[in-house]
């Protein structure tokens, strides 16, 4: 009888010290694990932080799960490790937040259909009804929850109920043009991915293309980042830029920017759902 092999991803962060890689490798070996990919990074050769991502195939993982988790908990105590283990076969469940713009949503849906995003889009939530037909065509539940200043907390409470109902692992703000409250962002740390239509830290906040045009920039860009309490200040996952010139008007910048936005967001979501991102302070380590 053939053993069933399960692919797992292990993310580790801790203060750098000798013996960590050997201990992790030995623990996997003792549990029938075969390492198929390993990446690591140290922030400083002396006294820095150590980050590691491993993909391993483990025979009869479900039968060994309790022991494997116990062994890694022992490693965590010994080396003061922060760690998590994810099964590659378990697709991340994502909730998508949108407003009126459709380009980022369509890119995510296309990437998933093409097999480039191994995620399940379980619900689409919007403060406008404009994109409901797209959700209907893709057979994804759509909820129109109009947001105003006076009802923001009540609407966010409804949004949290929906996220829990559909058991979403992450939230994707695909040009959702609302500022989330600190109470909401704290509920989902390092789980909310936003696309900002600017190469941060330039042009934080509203109307970045108009401000870029007024400033006469020669490069425009987009930034995908985790959402924190501070507007557009969360850990950056991915960025990209494209050159523009004096002939480009504001509408041209917006058209060029849409392409950058959708590709940058799709890459960031891909890396997140593949467990390639570790946060450290307000920075990320991305094992891409």
* pLDDT of amino acid 1: 39
Question: Quick one: 117 and 239 in the same domain?
Answer: yes
How many Cβ atoms are within 10 Å of 29's Cβ, its own excluded? 12
What CATH code is carried by the domain that includes residue 182? 3.40.50.170
Q: Per residue in 202-212, is it b (16+ CB within 10 Å) or e — as a string?
A: ebeeeebbeeb
Q: Report angle CA 228, 82, 189 to the nearest 5 degrees.
A: 20
pLDDT of 32 higher than 80: yes
Rounded CA separation 48/17 (Å): 9
- Looking at the whole model, is its pTM more than 0.85? yes
Query: Contact, 278 vs 51, CB < 8 A?
Result: yes
Do 33 and 53 belong together in one domain?
yes
- Asked if 74 and 131 sit in the same domain, the reply is no
Residue identified by tokens 């994707």 is: 172
Instruction: Render pLDDT for 152-177 as a digit per residue (tens, 0 to 9).
Output: 999 999 999 999 999 999 999 999 99
Question: 3-state DSSP call for residue 125?
Answer: strand
Domain shared by 159 and 83, yes or no: no
CA distances from 141 to 38, 101, 129, 159 (A): 38, 18, 13, 13
Question: Do 199 and 63 share a structural domain?
Answer: no
Give yes or no for residue 137 having a pLDDT over 50: yes
On whether both 128 and 160 belong to a single domain, the answer is yes
| Domain span including residue 262 | 92-286
Note if 39 is an active site residue. Answer: no
Residues in a beta bridge with 11? 53, 84
- Whether residue 150 sits in one domain with residue 82: no
Percent of the chain surpassing pLDDT 70: 98
CATH number at residue 44: 3.30.70.260
Q: Which of 16-25, 38-47, 124-133, 264-273 has the lowest mean pLDDT?
A: 38-47
pLDDT per position as a tens digit, 60-88: 999 999 999 999 999 999 999 999 999 99
> d(Cα 58, Cα 65) in Å, to the nearest integer?
10
Triad 202, 98, 172: Cα angle to 5°: 70
Which residue from 139, 190, 184 is spatially nearest to 164, judged by alpha carbons? 184
The verdict on 69 and 176 lying in the same domain is no
- Spatial contact of 43 and 9, defined as CB atoms under 8 Å apart: no
Query: Please, are residues 108 and 80 in contact by the beta-carbon 8 Å criterion?
Result: no
- Regarding whether 123 and 34 lie in a shared domain, the answer is no
If one counts every other C-beta atom within 10 angstroms of the C-beta of residue 194, the result is 24
- As a whole number of angstroms, the distance between CA 101 and CA 98 comes to 7
Q: Is residue 136 domain-shared with residue 211, that is, in the same domain?
A: yes
Residue 27 confidence (pLDDT): 97
Residue from 57, 232, 248, 251 carrying the catalytic annotation: 232
Question: Which of residues 159 and 3 earns the better pLDDT score?
Answer: 159
């Amino acid at each position: 009888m053939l053993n069933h092999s399960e692919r797992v991803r292990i993310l580790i962060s801790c203060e750098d010290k000798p013996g960590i890689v050997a201990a992790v490798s030995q623990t996997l070996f003792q549990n029938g694990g075969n390492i198929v990919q390993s990446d690591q990074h140290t922030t400083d050769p002396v006294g820095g932080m150590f980050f590691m991502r491993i993909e391993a195939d483990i025979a009869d993982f479900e039968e060994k799960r309790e022991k494997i988790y116990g062994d890694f908990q022992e490693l965590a105590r010994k080396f003061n490790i922060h760690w998590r283990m994810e099964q590659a076969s378990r697709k991340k469940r994502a909730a998508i937040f949108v407003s009126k713009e459709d380009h980022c949503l369509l890119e995510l849906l296309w990437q998933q259909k093409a097999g480039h995003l191994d995620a399940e889009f379980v619900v689409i939530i919007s403060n406008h009804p404009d994109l409901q037909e797209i959700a209907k065509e893709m057979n994804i539940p759509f909820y129109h929850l109009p947001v105003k200043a006076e009802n923001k907390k009540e609407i966010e409470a409804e949004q949290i109920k929906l996220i829990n109902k559909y058991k979403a692992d992450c939230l994707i703000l695909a040009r959702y043009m609302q500022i989330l409250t600190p109470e909401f962002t704290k509920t989902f740390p390092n789980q909310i991915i936003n696309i900002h239509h600017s190469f941060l830290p330039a042009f934080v906040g509203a109307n970045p293309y108009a401000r870029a045009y007024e400033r006469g920039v020669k490069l425009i860009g987009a930034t995908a980042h985790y959402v924190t309490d501070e507007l557009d200040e969360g850990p950056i996952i991915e960025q990209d830029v494209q050159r523009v010139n004096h002939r480009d008007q504001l509408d041209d910048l917006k058209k060029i920017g849409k392409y950058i936005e959708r590709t940058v967001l799709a890459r960031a979501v891909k890396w997140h759902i593949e467990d390639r991102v570790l946060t450290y302070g307000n920075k990320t380590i991305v094992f891409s």
